Chain A
Amino acid sequence: MNPVAIKLSSVALLGAASLAGTAGVITYNAGAVRVSVVEKRQNGEHVHVFVPAIVIPMAMGFIPAKHFHVHDKDTHQWLPILKAVSQELERCPDATLVEVTSPDEHVKISKQGNSLYIDVDDPGETVHVSFPVGVVQTVVNKLEAANTSPPV
C-alpha cells in the first residue's frame, strides 16, 4: 500500500476516533434520559429507552411552538413551580428525597449527581426513570417562552 495512503487513513482514523471520543465525553457529561419498564409476568414486555440529554434541546427546536402552548389555566400555574423545583434540584445535594415502602410496592425518588432517579417496584412491573435535572429546565424554559401570557 502507498505510504501516503497509509498515513492519510491513519490520520482519518485518529480523527474519527477523537471525534467519537469527544462526542462520548460530551454525551456522558450531559447525562441521559433513561426509561425502563419491565413487566414481571411471563413474556411480559421490556421497554428500555435511552436518549442522550444533549439531543433533547436540539430535538425540541424542531417542534413547532404551538405545540408548547398550555391552554389549561391550572397547568399554567404549575410552570413557575416546576421551574423553581428544577432550579433548586440542581443545587440540592445528593439524597433520597422520597421513599415509600409497602408490601406491594417500593417507590424511591432520589437525586444523584445531576440526575433525578425515580424507581417503582410493584408486583406487576419494575419502572426506572432517570433524567438530568437540566432537561426539566430546558422543557420549562421552552414552555415559558411559548406561554408568556396566561390562558384566557
Chain B
Amino acid sequence: MILLAGMVLAMAASVMAAPPDQWIHVRVVSADAKGESVRVNIPMSFAEKILPTICAEKFHEGKVRFDDHFNDVDLRTIFEAIKSTPDNEFVTVKSRDEDVHVAKSGGNLLIKVHERHNYKHGQKVEDGQNVDVKVPLVVVQALLSGKKDELDIMAGIRALSALGNVDLVNVNDGEQTVRVWTDTSSSSE
C-alpha cells in the first residue's frame, strides 16, 4: 500500500513538475581564421526579473517608448491586418543587389534578406549578407499590448518564454554568423 502510494506520489510529482527553464542564446562567430566568438546564455526568467529594474532614458518598467517616431504609422492596425490574413508572402523585392521577402507562415512573421555577392571587375570583393528573422505573431501582439507609443518588452519576453524552442535570428554576412534562439538548454553548443 505504502509502495503504491509512493508510486502515485512520484508520478504526480513528475506530471506536476515545473517546466524546464527557457533560455535565450546569442551566438556570434567570426568566419575568419581568428575564430572570434561571443556566446551569451541567459535564462528567460532572469531577463523577466531584471528588465523591470532597468530605468533608462526611454526604457522604464520593461517598456520602451518610441515617442513620435511611429506617429504616422498605426502599428496595431497593421498587425491586426497581418494577423487576420491567411499565410501569404506580403512583400517580395528582387533587385540586382538583393532579394527581400516578408511573409506570414505558421503563426510567424518571416523576414528574409539575401544580398548578392559584391563583385568588382569580375572579382568577389564582399560576401552577400543573408538575414533570416522569424518573429512569432504572439510575441508581436505582446510587444504591442501596451500604450500606443510603447513596446512592452516584458510582455514580449513572457510570450516568447511560453512558446518553447524558437529560432529567432540568423545572419550570415560572410564575415560572421549571428544566431539568436531560445530553448531549454543552458548551453549554446
Binding site for B on A (CB under 8 A): 77, 80-81, 83-85, 87-89, 91-103
Contacts and interface: CB of A to CB of B under 8 A. Distances in A.
B54 A88 contact: no
A101 B36 CA distance: 5
Q: How large is the interface on B (under 10, 10 to 19, 20 to 34, 35 or more residues)?
A: 20 to 34
B35 A101 contact: yes
User: Nearest 7 CB-CB pairs, A to B?
Assistant: A95-B186, A102-B36, A80-B53, A84-B53, A99-B39, A81-B53, A88-B46
Contacts of A87: 49
A93 B43 contact: yes
B42 interface: yes
B34 interface: yes
Given A89-B46, A93-B21, A95-B187, 5 more contacts: A88-B46, A92-B46, A97-B42, A98-B38, A100-B38
A97 B50 contact: no
B36 A81 contact: no
B163 interface: no
B50 A96 contact: no
B24 to A, nearest CB: 11
Interface string B29-48: 00000111111111101100
